[in-house]
Amino acid sequence: MKFWINNNNKEQSVVAANKLRGQLLDAGLVLDRRDPKLVISVGGDGTLLSTFHAYAARLDKVKFLALHTGHLGFYSDWTDTEIDDLAQRIIKCQDNIPSTSYPLLDVTVENKEGAAFHGIAINETVVRRLSSLTMKSRIDLDEEFFESFRGDGLCFSTPTGSTAYSKSVGGALIHPKISVFQMIEIASINNRVYRTISSPIIIPHNQQVDLYPQIADDYVISCDGITTKLKNVKKITIKLNYQRAQFAQYRHRHFWTRVETAFLGQDEKK
């Protein structure tokens, strides 16, 4: 089986990556950066996101695996203290990798000349302005008018991304087994003149959100932290991508256990 390991430059990650790589090579697996069947991220959530986007064009051919050096992340069931166990499971299941899949956001931006940008996100997409000026946009849900938004910006999150930035701006936590995405208003303006729903909106897999922002030359769109400047924006469409990200699952760890560990950290049952 062909595999590749991507790690950050922290000493703990380098040591872990070298150890795992060595064990897999000793077992006869093949190191291949261009055409791997399994891509392993060693580091933190940032390393996982950069690894995912490096292989985003090959989602139908690759499965991802995250090994966190430090604490468990929401895409990882493994830490650097469990490399021996992980290596044995990879070697044993190399012909039939057990996996689970996660929804992805699909983002298209149209300007006056036509399509200007297309991207995907495994965590979230954020639309805002570079300046401190208010973002103003018409919002259509499933091609019908919903509201006129005024505020700092809009965040769109996948279920797995619901524990990341979207949580910090008031988004809901969504189990990744549910094929939906959500829209969260960032610091929306609500008074006697302007009114928005001011609540996270959960959107099913077969619907989309269309934004028609007020004309400005300082819009930016971020997909998993990768930011692109936009000009002459006519329409922004956010929906779920027809593809899903495949993650190797050599053992199962309950999503709500991940949530409890990350945000509550309560060791004792009450």
> In sequence order, what are the residues at sequence separation of 6 or more whose Cβ sits closer than 8 angstroms to the Cβ of residue 26?
none
3-state secondary structure of 155: strand
To the question of whether residue 80 is assigned a binding role by annotation, the answer is no
AA letter at 256: W
Q: Examine the residue annotation and report whether 142 is marked as an active-site residue of this protein.
A: no
To the question of whether residue 123 is assigned a binding role by annotation, the answer is yes
Token readout for 9 is 């430059």
d(CA 43, CA 45): 7
To the question of whether residue 46 is assigned a binding role by annotation, the answer is yes
d(CA 156, CA 149): 14
To the question of whether residue 166 is assigned a binding role by annotation, the answer is yes
Token readout for 101 is 């899949």
To the question of whether residue 33 is assigned a binding role by annotation, the answer is no
Q: Phi and psi dihedrals of 56, rounded to 5? A: -65, -20
To the question of whether residue 63 is assigned a binding role by annotation, the answer is no
Residue with tokens 């909106």: 201
Among 26, 32, 35, 45, the active-site one is 45
To the question of whether residue 165 is assigned a binding role by annotation, the answer is yes
To the question of whether residue 187 is assigned a binding role by annotation, the answer is yes
Bind-site residues for NAD(+): 45-46, 123-124, 150, 152, 163-168, 187
Residues with catalytic function: 45
**Binding-site residues:** 45-46, 123-124, 150, 152, 163-168, 187
